[in-house]
């Protein structure tokens, strides 16, 4: 029941109550636009120094009001994940909901407190605005609706990769990362905003946004199909890729990038191998072209090129000097990071495309290069970098000083060797971590304890190695001593190696950014050990070319000079992979595609 | 049996519903009962609920189009002020010819919902008092809420969009830049390479 | 002077006319028409004519991601947008199994009640205007503006707040916000005697509204009348209390009921609800500082958010009556179907047609407004 006494007839004097209103202020509104509230949703402002042109705002815009515009002169760096594009807003469509602000991965977008814009018909173009940090009309207004931590629509935290505990994994070579389960993969894939920075950054331009989307949609076979569009080393890259994509990921600007590599691994592991083969071979040409291609080197570059060329109908033979194909992925990378059966699967897909891989055939010894040239229409050199570089410091010729690649080869081949009781590794790259962690495992197996020291010139945070590798190495009991410049191996009177002498590094590069380390002799350290391992890089062994061809070819700083398509100065010879570009598996894959396209074009031209 | 708020609600309601053959019921929450039944038995259920369980309030009739099954789903949302439960009765009827019975004689509000569904989905209700146009008076296209009607395509086709040529864009174009991705480009799925090949 | 081609028309002798109320008419909040046939001053039949505000919301929603629709739903009812946002969010949360943090629930209640006050101020201002009294309308709109100021401060938007999001709300309260809410509540409370003086004990209004558009309880139930209009017929029912959502079960409030079922009773129910809303808001203001925690449950990336297949029917009590969303998901990233059941879909069509028939022509506008119908809920 209402408590209003409306049935009261009231007094005749009731209207006099109205006089009270003379004493009250009138309700007034200013003619000038009123200052807006602190988080008003007015016109956009965009901090161009933060914006990377990822276009996520465009995707979340519910009114299709955002157009991406390329602006020459802005930074465009695919490796860092920056495009020279910025969003332009159509204020004929925008509804100022601010979802673009809440989802912006970098936090560059905000809405200002400016809200008045009027124009006549002839000035309708003024509704299409390219916001920067100076307001819509060049007047300064404070920020209104801006990103806050509790309102972020971007999920900044990555799904944690399940892994074996250090004490579990240290005594064996079993794969230490266990892989995402279905739920984790789904959640991780759902973090992706589909900006495509990863695609641009990837050397082989993998369709990462597409396969991540497919994983999220539960269409794993479609994900595999997307992966095989650009990369036949799918299992391998799903485990050991250097993942430039993740460095470029938009989410990485404020949070942890999407685990693109682990998602690839998940998709590849989830689809049965026979089905992967069918998917990978879709689009293979049925009729042979009759052209024959010889590829020297069964690593990523050679086999990628072989796979592409075989799919195009050429007869491809790969000559591999070692017992198994795979190149550095098999012979360099330890099993706990990349189990051999995964390599075998990738190779099996490539073989099933019709590629003839002949192992234990060393060109120059078993067959000459001239014989190859005579029997084939094109020859591709993809030797890789098999020779470990040497420090050439005093006493480094000692028998207990090894090259990391040689030891890694031995471990893969299961060749017995004396596992050092105490090893010092020189180098801060992934190979250094690989040999250190492999030795640590062998030590644990044979002696029950780990005793490996890694020394490198750089500070630890600037090591070339993947930060995850460093973290895991430390967990496994490996000691890292950074900023140590190797000066010589210490030999005792009996000629036994007893240690490595290092000086503290003051700087590594000179003012011209050339490699010229400076040391502080006072910071001398003797790292006691019975074995020193050099892991400071690799070089190609090009002796198989022979003097005449070496003479005839053009060279560039010790590497064979090739054009943009991978052709050498000899018309019949292409070269690709690490020996041309330096070590990186996904780069080698990209290179393989590039030379395959070039070889195919030349061969098909010949055929006409 | 007459349902009362004091009785063991779910049990009594379920007991009552057993009178309808082929009916499946499921409590989605303490006050939401989902009921699936054959279209022929819906009038009996409605009569039962209104007459004997106090469901006097027809909250809404919703229609859902399922072209893949070639069916319309009709959902009758009935509320009882006495037992405070909402029954959602789901039936499926064939999309073709798309005719069903009106429940106007039991629930007057059905007239509005049935006319609405007729306009938006093209589903005809026999016995409904008015199947004329109401909202889409000047529309002679297909019933727009059917899934095959692509509203966005129709809009893109129907209206002229403002073609903006602001000065800043001309400057950027003169320098070699310009628009790279229009909003409509990201609203459609991109074709897949293997589809093109086939 | 008559044009050359002028021809006089011979009307048949009749007192019957057909009149159009609308589509632009202050008797209803939006574009809506009522075709009325009158015989002299008496309405003999009436037919509601909607469609002037049809924007195809339900179709539009099917083409947008779950989260994108939050910018769309408040547009379905301009004077009272918050229940739309909350009802849609509740549906998504129930489908996705998302637990809304308690703080967010209290903030939602605060918005809902602020919005209810704003809507009611708007409504009885308008109701008074249909009886020829314009001052309550000016007062109502001016005081409603203070609530819009609060919304602006909270959400950055005055009318379309777009502030509720599946999972919770989009921002926490600005510093000192509750004090300002309190101040506005004090002010509005102090204004209530003025409103009573001006309108609710005003003999002109009482007499003009009494006995107009009478709806008895039986009719009200038959025509699915809800909200204040139903409570004005003596049925004690409120979704907030009887089918509770959010934290309404922790809040003390009465459900005002009137018996007469006429335009006057409906106005009185709204007037009493103002007081109850103030009472609820006082409790929220007192409670909120002690409710900590997040303002939003973690939700997935909106660009890749599939909701499990299923359907859900959520109801809230808007200022106009029972508002419900029927949302169907087929497991995708967009709604498969959204059906908006606005209370006005009943009030503005069948109920209005029935009440107006037999009424006098000068009461038509008042009946329209006393039902507090919102055309966009009809047209969607």
Tell me the pLDDT tens digit for each residue of A528-540.
888 889 888 888 8
The pLDDT of residue C11 is above 70: no
Measured distance CA(A111)–CA(A129) in Å, rounded: 13
Q: Which residue has the higher pLDDT, C26 or A467?
A: A467
B166·A85 Cβ contact <8 A? no
Question: How deeply is B110 buried, as exposed, middle or buried, from its count of CB atoms within 10 A (0-12, 13-18, 19+)?
Answer: buried
- Both tokens of residue C314? 């959520």
What's the pLDDT score for residue B5? 46
Residues 6+ apart with CB under 8 A from C105: C246, C247
Q: Could you tell me which residues come within 8 angstroms of residue B40 by beta carbon, excluding any fewer than 6 positions away?
A: none
The region of weakest confidence among B46-50, B130-134, C6-10, C320-324 is: C6-10
CB C166 within 8 A of CB C136: no
Pick the residue from chain A with its C-alpha nearest to B167.
Answer: A125
Q: Which residues of C191-215 are buried (b: 16+ CB within 10 A; e: fewer)?
A: beebbbbbbbbbeebbebbeebbbb
Residue ranges of chain A that CATH labels 3.50.50.60: 292-386+549-607, 389-537
Question: Where are the alpha helices (H) located in C197-305, listed in sequence order?
Answer: 203-209, 217-222, 227-231, 239-242, 263-287
Could you tell me which of C104, C68, C65 has the C-alpha nearest to residue C86?
C104
Mean pLDDT of C269-281: 90
Q: Are C375 and C23 in contact (CB under 8 A)?
A: no
Stated length of chain B:
198
Which residues in chain C are closer than 8 Å to B111, comparing Cβ atoms?
350
Distance from CA of A77 to the nearest CA of B (A): 16
> What gap in Å lies between CA B2 and CA B16, rounded to an integer?
9
Q: Can you tell me the distance from the alpha carbon of A382 to that of C341, in angstroms, rounded to the nearest whole number? A: 68
The confidence score (pLDDT) of residue C52 equals 81
Positive or negative CA dihedral for C174, C177, C181, C187? negative
Positions of E strands within A268-413: 292-296, 315-319, 356-358, 378-381, 387-388, 401-403
Nearest CA-CA distance, residue B160 and chain A, Å: 13
CB-CB neighbours of A219 under 10 Å: 15
Low-confidence ranges of chain A (pLDDT < 70): 1-11
CB pairs under 8 A between A and B: 71
CATH code, residues C55-379: 1.10.645.10
What angle (nearest 5°) sits at the alpha carbon of residue A339, between those of residues A333 and A344?
100
Closest partner CB to C350 (pick from B86, B109, B135): B109
* Contact of A522 with A504, CB cutoff 8 Å: yes
Contacts of A189 in chain C (CB under 8 A): 304
Q: What pLDDT score was predicted for residue B3?
A: 47
pLDDT in the model for residue A8: 62
Backbone phi, psi, residue A519, to 5°? -120, 160
Q: C322 vs B109: CB contact, 8 Å cut-off?
A: no
Tokens of A92: 């004929």
- List CB contacts (< 8 A) between A210 and chain B: 192
Q: What kind of fold does domain A292-386+549-607 have according to CATH?
A: FAD/NAD(P)-binding domain (3.50.50)
Please provide the DSSP assignment of A16-61 as one string.
Answer: GGGGGGGGSPPP---SSPPPPPTT---SEEE-TTT-----HHHHH-
- What mean pLDDT is predicted for residues C95-111? 90
Closest by Cα among A305, A174, A296 to A233: A305
Mutate to test the interface with C, among A57, A98, A214 (most CBs of C within 10 A): A98
Strand partners, C216: none
Q: How far apart are CA A106 and CA C171, in angstroms?
A: 19
First to last CA, chain A: 97
Between C221 and A21, residue with greater pLDDT: C221
Tokens of A72: 């020459």
Task: For residue B93, give the CATH number of its domain.
Answer: 3.30.460.80
Q: Which residues of C88-97 are buried (b: 16+ CB within 10 A; e: fewer)?
A: bbbbbbbbbe
pLDDT in tens, C127-139: 888 888 888 888 8
Interchain contact A150–C (C-beta under 8 A): yes
Q: Are A151 and C296 in contact (CB under 8 A)?
A: yes
Please classify residue A50 by burial: count the beta carbons closer than 10 Å to its beta carbon, then call 0-12 exposed, 13-18 middle and 19+ buried. Answer: middle
Average pLDDT over every residue of B13-31: 80
| CATH 1.10.1060.10 residue window(s) in chain A | 166-280
Interface contact flag, C59 B145, Cβ < 8 Å: yes
Give C171→chain B minimum CA distance, Å. 27
What is the distance in angstroms between the Cα of C342 and the nearest Cα belonging to chain B? 9
Give the per-residue pLDDT at C372.
84
Q: Is residue B86 within 8 Å of residue B33, measured between CB atoms?
A: yes
Size of interface A-C (CB pairs under 8 A): 119
> Regarding the domain with residue range A166-280, which homologous superfamily does it belong to in the CATH classification?
Alpha-helical ferredoxin (1.10.1060.10)
What is the CATH topology of the domain spanning A389-537?
A: FAD/NAD(P)-binding domain (3.50.50)
Q: What is the dihedral of CA C342, C345, C346, C347, to 10 degrees?
A: 100
* Cross-chain residue pair A4–C65, CB shorter than 8 Å: no
Mean pLDDT score, B123-149: 87
C-alpha A328/C-alpha A405 separation (Å) is 9
Task: List pLDDT tens digits, range B88-132.
Answer: 999 999 988 888 989 898 888 899 899 999 989 988 998 888 888
Does residue B2 lie in a domain region?
no
Chain B, nearest residue to C51 by Cα: B135
Q: What's the pLDDT score for residue A4?
A: 66
Whether the predicted pLDDT of C183 surpasses 90: yes
- Residue A318: what are its φ and ψ, rounded to 5°? -110, 130
B81, B137, B151 ranked by CB distance to C60: nearest: B151
Burial of residue A350, with CB atoms counted within 10 A of its CB: 0-12 exposed, 13-18 middle, 19 or more buried: buried
Supply the pLDDT for residue B2.
Answer: 45
Range of the domain at B85: 9-182
Q: Is the pLDDT of residue B13 over 90?
A: no
In a domain, B193, yes or no: no
The answer to whether the beta carbons of residues C120 and C274 sit under 8 Å apart is yes
Least Cα distance to A197 among A53, A306, A392 occurs for A53
């Amino acid at each position: 029941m209402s408590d209003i006494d409306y049935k009261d007839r009231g007094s005749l004097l009731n209207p006099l109550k109205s006089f009270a209103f003379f004493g009250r202020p009138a309700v007034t509104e200013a003619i000038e636009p009123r200052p807006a509230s602190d988080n008003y949703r007015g016109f956009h402002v965009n901090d161009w120094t933060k914006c990377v042109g990822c276009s996520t705002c465009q995707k979340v815009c519910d009114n299709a009001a955002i157009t991406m515009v390329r602006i020459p002169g802005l930074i465009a760096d695919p490796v860092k994940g920056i495009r020279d594009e910025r969003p332009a807003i159509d204020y004929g469509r925008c509804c100022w909901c601010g979802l673009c602000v809440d989802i912006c991965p970098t936090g560059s977008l905000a809405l200002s407190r400016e809200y008045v814009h009027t124009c006549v018909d002839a000035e309708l173009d003024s509704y299409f605005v390219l916001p920067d940090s100076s307001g819509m009309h060049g007047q300064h207004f404070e920020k209104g609706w801006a990103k806050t931590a509790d309102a972020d629509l971007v999920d900044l935290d990555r799904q944690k990769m399940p892994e074996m505990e250090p004490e579990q994994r240290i005594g064996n070579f079993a794969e230490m990362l266990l892989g995402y389960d279905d739920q984790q993969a789904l959640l991780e894939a759902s973090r992706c905003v589909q900006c495509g920075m990863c695609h641009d950054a990837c050397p082989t331009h993998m369709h990462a946004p597409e396969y991540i989307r497919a994983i999220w949609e539960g269409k794993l076979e479609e994900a595999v199909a997307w992966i095989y569009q650009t990369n036949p080393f799918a299992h391998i890259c799903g485990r050991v890729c250097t993942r430039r994509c993740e460095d470029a990921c938009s989410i990485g600007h404020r949070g942890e990038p999407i685990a693109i590599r682990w998602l690839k691994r998940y998709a590849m592991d989830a689809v049965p191998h026979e089905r992967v083969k069918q998917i990978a071979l879709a689009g293979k040409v049925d009729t042979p072209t009759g052209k024959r291609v010889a590829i020297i080197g069964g690593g990523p570059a050679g086999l990628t090129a072989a796979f592409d060329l075989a799919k195009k109908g050429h007869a491809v033979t790969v000559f591999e000097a070692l017992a198994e194909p795979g190149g550095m992925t098999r012979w360099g990378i330890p099993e706990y990071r990349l189990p051999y059966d995964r390599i075998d699967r990738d190779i099996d897909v490539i073989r099933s495309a019709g590629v003839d891989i002949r192992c234990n055939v060393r060109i120059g010894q078993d067959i000459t290069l001239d014989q190859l040239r005579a029997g084939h229409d094109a020859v591709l050199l993809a030797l890789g970098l098999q020779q470990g570089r040497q420090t050439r410091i005093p006493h480094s010729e000692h028998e207990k000083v090894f090259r990391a690649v040689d030891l890694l080869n031995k471990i893969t081949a299961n060749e017995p060797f004396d596992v050092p009781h105490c090893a010092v590794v020189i180098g801060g790259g992934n190979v250094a971590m690989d040999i250190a962690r492999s030795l640590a495992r062998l030590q644990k197996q044979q002696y029950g304890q780990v005793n490996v020291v890694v020394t490198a010139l750089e500070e630890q945070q600037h090591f070339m190695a993947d930060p995850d590798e460093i973290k895991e190495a430390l967990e496994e009991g490996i000691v890292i001593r950074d900023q140590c410049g190797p000066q010589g191996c210490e030999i005792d009177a009996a000629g036994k190696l007893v240690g490595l002498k290092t000086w503290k590094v003051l700087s590594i590069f000179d003012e011209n950014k050339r490699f010229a380390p400076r040391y502080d002799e006072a910071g001398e350290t003797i790292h006691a050990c019975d074995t020193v391992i050099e892991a400071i890089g690799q070089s190609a062994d090009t002796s198989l070319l022979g003097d005449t061809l070496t003479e005839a070819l053009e060279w560039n700083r010790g590497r064979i000079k090739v054009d943009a398509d991978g052709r050498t100065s000899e018309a019949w010879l292409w070269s690709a992979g690490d020996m041309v570009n330096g070590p990186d598996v996904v780069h080698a894959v990209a290179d393989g595609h590039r030379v395959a396209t070039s070889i195919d074009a030349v061969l098909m031209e010949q055929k006409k | 049996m007459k349902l009362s708020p004091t009785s063991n609600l779910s049990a009594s309601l379920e007991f009552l519903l057993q009178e309808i053959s082929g009916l499946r019921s499921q409590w989605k929450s303490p006050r939401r009962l989902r009921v699936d039944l054959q279209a022929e038995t819906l009038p009996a259920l409605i009569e039962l609920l209104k007459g004997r369980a106090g469901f006097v309030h027809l909250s809404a009739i919703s229609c859902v189009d399922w072209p893949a099954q070639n069916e319309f789903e009709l959902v009758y949302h009935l509320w009882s002020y006495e037992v405070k439960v909402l029954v959602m009765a789901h039936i499926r009827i064939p999309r073709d010819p798309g005719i069903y019975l009106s429940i106007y004689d039991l629930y007057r509000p059905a007239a509005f919902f049935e006319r609405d569904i007729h306009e938006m989905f093209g589903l005809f209700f026999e016995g409904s008092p008015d199947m004329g146009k109401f909202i889409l008076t000047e529309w002679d296209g297909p019933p727009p809420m059917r899934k095959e009607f692509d509203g966005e395509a129709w809009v893109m086709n129907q209206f002229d969009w403002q073609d903006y040529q602001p000065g800043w864009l001309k400057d950027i174009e003169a320098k070699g830049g310009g628009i790279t991705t229009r909003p409509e480009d990201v609203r459609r799925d991109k074709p897949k390479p293997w589809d093109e090949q086939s | 002077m008559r044009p050359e081609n002028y021809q006089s028309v011979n009307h048949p002798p009749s007192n019957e006319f057909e009149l159009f109320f609308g589509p632009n008419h202050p008797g209803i909040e939006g574009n809506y028409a009522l075709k009325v046939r009158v015989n002299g001053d008496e309405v003999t039949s009436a037919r509601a004519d909607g469609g002037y505000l049809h924007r195809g919301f339900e179709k539009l929603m099917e083409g947008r991601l779950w989260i994108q629709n939050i910018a769309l739903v408040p547009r379905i009812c301009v004077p009272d947008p918050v229940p739309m946002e909350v009802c849609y969010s509740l549906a998504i949360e129930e489908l996705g199994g998302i637990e809304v943090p308690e703080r967010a629930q209290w903030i939602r209640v605060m918005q809902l009640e602020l919005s209810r006050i704003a809507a009611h101020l708007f409504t009885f201002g308008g109701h008074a205007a249909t009886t020829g009294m314009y001052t309550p309308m000016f007062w109502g709109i001016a005081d409603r503006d203070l609530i819009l100021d609060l919304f602006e401060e909270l959400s950055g938007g005055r009318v379309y707040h777009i502030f509720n999001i599946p999972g919770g709300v989009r921002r926490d309260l600005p510093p000192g916000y509750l004090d300002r809410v309190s101040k506005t509540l004090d002010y509005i409370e102090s204004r209530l005697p003025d409103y009573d003086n001006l309108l609710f004990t005003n003999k002109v209004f009482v007499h003009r509204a009494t006995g107009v558009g009478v709806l008895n309880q039986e009719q009200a139930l038959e025509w699915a009348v809800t909200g204040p209009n139903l409570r004005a017929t003596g049925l004690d029912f409120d979704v907030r209390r009887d089918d509770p959502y959010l934290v309404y079960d922790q809040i003390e409030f009465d459900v005002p009921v009137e018996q007469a079922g006429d335009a006057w009773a409906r106005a009185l129910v709204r007037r009493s609800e103002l007081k109850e809303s103030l009472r609820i808001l006082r409790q929220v203001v007192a409670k909120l500082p002690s409710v900590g925690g997040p303002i939003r449950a973690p939700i997935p990336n909106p660009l890749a958010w599939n909701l499990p297949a299923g359907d859900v029917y959520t109801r809230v009590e808007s200022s106009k009556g029972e508002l419900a969303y029927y949302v169907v998901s087929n497991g995708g990233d967009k709604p498969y179907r959204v059906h908006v059941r606005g209370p006005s879909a009943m009030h503005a069509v069948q109920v209005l047609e029935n009440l107006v028939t037999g009424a006098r022509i000068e009461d038509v506008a008042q009946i329209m407004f006393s039902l507090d119908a919102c055309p966009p809920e009809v047209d969607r």
